[in-house]
Amino acid sequence: MGQGRRDELLELAYAYVRDHGIAELSLRPLASAVGSSPRVLLFLFGSKDGLIRALLERARADELTLITRARAELAPPARDRPGEPASLGSEAGLDNAAEAVWEWLADDAHRPVLRLWAEAYARSLLETEGPWAGFARSTVDDWLGILATTQPAAVRDTAPGLAQRTAVLAVLRGALLDLLATGDRERTTAAVRHLLRAGPARAGHAPGDRPPEGRRPEGRPIPGDGGPSARP
């Protein structure tokens, strides 16, 4: 009984937890569903914690692969273009990639793996030790890494570049939790598109840039600054 059997049982167990959840995982029903026994599972994975850790790693790898594929197919990585303002190219590529990733996230076919992700993410925030530890932080790093590939190098490694993709991740993650809770794909998709298309690049400046002198960020004159609204 070697690596081949372990891999086979891991795939079967992964299919099981996508349908039944992982937070309250019990070995006996799982073993019965995958055609094995608790003793064999403990032998192959070392412990129940070892099995959970392997399942979380499998879920993380699955999510990362699928989202990377969706981004690559629908929004190719950014290319630095001579003469193109780095911040403008960065934001456009990031927004396009985010919309592509959202289309994948909103697809009903991917709901089971995303519910599993949300369950593990929440559990890891509460349990800082054991098999759940670090899962949430690792997925944040994964997503930021994927989004970074859509930004030109001149922006990717800057503080504004990190702020841009962190903001995009916050939009996607918040909308995803809303979608999982309500199932309202139309409303959440409209919200994601609204926020992405109203991003800093659409306003003609990158995050961290100061608005033009005498203007509020939304473009209205500041009373008393000598602009059109100032009294003589």
Contact at 8 Å (CB) between 45 and 51?
A: yes
Domain span including residue 159: 59-203
Q: Is residue 199 part of a domain?
A: yes
Q: Is residue 14 part of a domain?
A: no
Helix (H, G, I), strand (E, B) or coil at 109: helix
Q: Is residue 223 part of a domain?
A: no
Q: Is residue 44 part of a domain?
A: no
Predicted confidence at residue 177, as pLDDT, reads 96
Strand partners, 215: 221
> What is the residue whose two structure tokens read 């998709």?
189
Predicted confidence at residue 109, as pLDDT, reads 87
Task: Write down the pTM of the prediction.
Answer: 0.71
Domain count, the chain: 1
Q: Is residue 178 part of a domain?
A: yes
Q: Is residue 226 part of a domain?
A: no
Task: From residue 64, give the alpha-carbon distance in Å to each of 11, 69, 156.
Answer: 17, 8, 20
Q: Is residue 27 part of a domain?
A: no
Q: Is residue 106 part of a domain?
A: yes
Give the list of residues 6+ apart from residue 34 with CB closer than 8 angstroms, or none: 9, 12, 13, 16
Burial class of residue 60 in the structure, from the number of CB atoms within 10 Å of its CB (0-12 exposed, 13-18 middle, 19+ buried): middle
Could you list the pLDDT tens digit for every one of the 232 residues in the chain? 578 889 999 999 999 998 888 888 899 999 999 999 999 999 999 999 999 999 999 988 887 887 777 666 654 444 444 443 333 334 457 888 888 889 889 999 888 888 988 998 999 999 888 888 899 999 999 889 888 988 888 899 999 999 999 999 999 999 999 999 999 999 999 999 999 988 644 433 444 444 444 444 444 444 444 444 444 4
Enumerate the H helices of the chain as residue ranges. Answer: 3-20, 27-34, 38-45, 48-74, 86-106, 111-126, 135-148, 153-156, 159-182, 185-197
The pLDDT tens digits of the residues spanning 192-209 come to 999 998 864 443 344 444
Predicted confidence at residue 50, as pLDDT, reads 93
